[in-house]
Amino acid sequence: MVNLSLVDASILCCAVLAHLYYRYKAKASLPYPPGPKPLPLIGNLLDIPKVRFRGFEVFAEWSKVYSSDILYLGVLGKNIVVLNSVDVANELCGERSATYSTRPHLTMLSDLMNATRFMAVMPYGDPWRARRKMFQHYFPLNDPTRIAISRSEEFIRKHLLPSLLDTPKDFLSHIRNTAGGVTLSLAYGLRIRRYDDPWIKLAEMTLHTTTQAAVVGRYLVDIIPALKYMPEWMPGAGFLKTAKEGRRIVNSFFDDLYAAAVQEIADGVAQPSFVSLALEENDETEIPDLKEVIRETAGIFFAGGSETTVVAVWNFVLLMTLHPDIQEKARKEVDMVVGHDRLPRFSDKPSMPYLTAVLKEVFRWSPIVPAGMPHCTTVDDIYRGYFIPKGSIVINNAWAMLHDENVFPNPDRFDPDRYLTASGQLRHDILDPETTATFGFGRRACPGSQIALTTMFVAAASFLSSFKILKPLNAKGEEIDPLVHYSGQTMVDNPAPFDCRFVPRSKEAVALIQAEILSLDESL
């Protein structure tokens, strides 16, 4: 009996070894996805587009060159896979999310800046699940809550519109301050100043620092992690100084904002917020690291909602400036639904299909995060006969997906009508940028997308109801098109500062805004 067991065990071991050998051999013989031909030793290091060259557009062009919507680059032992279609992104990051849901370990971002405190950067695992679960408990996915809607409407009516009336030339900073105010209020219950708020500045600095570091290929230390041990005085070690400052900013963002919120709760002056509700309703015996989970989950609001909202609203303003005919058509719809004796509300959205189509086209024409947040494979995978190694950095190229001429004919043209039927109703047979590609894929899709979409709609409808967005004037008083330029310096692709004119539509519109000013305190 013993001998038989030993024989069986030996046969089993041989079978397992044979299976593993042939599996490895089969994978080793499979090709990588198509891509540029690598050079010895350095691979495709020289092929990675520089940030300023908008790599997502280069990757999209490569799909035509190599006749493939999945591409591969190998760089000094690192594997990079680029997904250029919605179908392949859904199949891999959606249907195979167990394999594709973690984040690549970017040395600059994770080790040197400590940015894994952001849920968007955190590896897939129990700590990430705890924070995602807590966020979705208070702000369910695809369901804007009443508090999110009311805060968005309040900030736009009492903050953004009055500021535009006072200093319209500063519209870019007013939009940023309002979007930041909405998310900071929802997360921490903190009130902000109408101008130059220090919390907004801290959050803005944090997002700028981390989104720069999240661009794959920006820092050589992400390709050669051992560089992090360089002495700061050595030539080429300037990134270490950047990293040290980034770490200070990230820690200040999480710790100082949370401490201020807790102090206001203790003083009895706090507005209802995620932090106040989570501290009140959760038990530390059930969640041992409760305060740290709450502290880091609160950071999701600004990281996931504010910057996307800012860039989306900036893009809306720019495109309305460039397309006055589309602006006027959307304004007529707003007037028909809202009239002239009140400001728009989020509840008006179902009655505004044309404006809804305009906003979808804003997201499509200029994706906020065109190359997406990178994913990473946790095991080897085979797809369409291609070998995708464990640890591959996976880039979901949202720009390529939303500019696919097979899905969106004449993709460079700004055309809201592509989302509408002949009778002017929203189509349901076309890819929707608000739910696909713009906010990510699978389990790592942005959990705060509804906050951004809510604020975006209320801001856009309010602009159209209260102002005309006009082209800037030259020295002769003639209208000229604003300069359209996207810097591509961070993973969030915001337009460079541009000029336009916010002109009140009528005395009635001014009176509505001034009525809100009467109820406005020094801060919100």
Q: Which residues of 206-237 are buried (b: 16+ CB within 10 A; e: fewer)?
A: bbbbbbbbbbbbbbebbbeeebbeeeeeeeee
Q: What is the DSSP string of 103-128?
A: ----HIIIIIT-GGGSTTTSPSSHHH
**Cα–Cα distance for residue pair 106/221, rounded to 1 Å:** 8
**Cα–Cα distance for residue pair 387/28, rounded to 1 Å:** 8
Helix (H) / strand (E) containing 6: helix 2-29
Amino acid at 253: F
Q: What is the DSSP string of 283-339?
A: -TTTSTTHHHHHHHHHHHHIIIIIHHHHHHHHHHHHHHHH-HHHHHHHHHHHHHHH-
Residue with tokens 């995708």: 388
Contacting residues for 207 by C-beta, under 8 A, at least 6 apart: 302, 303, 306, 307, 492
**Conformation bin of residue 340: beta by default, left when phi > 0, alpha when psi is -120 to 50:** alpha
Structure tokens at 2: 């013993």
500 known member of a binding site: no
Of 328, 310, 309, 323, nearest to 448 by C-alpha is 309
CA atoms within 13 A on the CB side of 187: 31
Of 348, 351, 490, 362, nearest to 433 by C-alpha is 362
Q: What angle do CA 373, 375, 381 make, to 5 degrees?
A: 155
Structure tokens at 289: 């690291």
Helix (H) / strand (E) containing 204: helix 198-213
Structure tokens at 98: 């167990």
Specify binding-site residues for heme: 446
Specify binding-site residues: 446
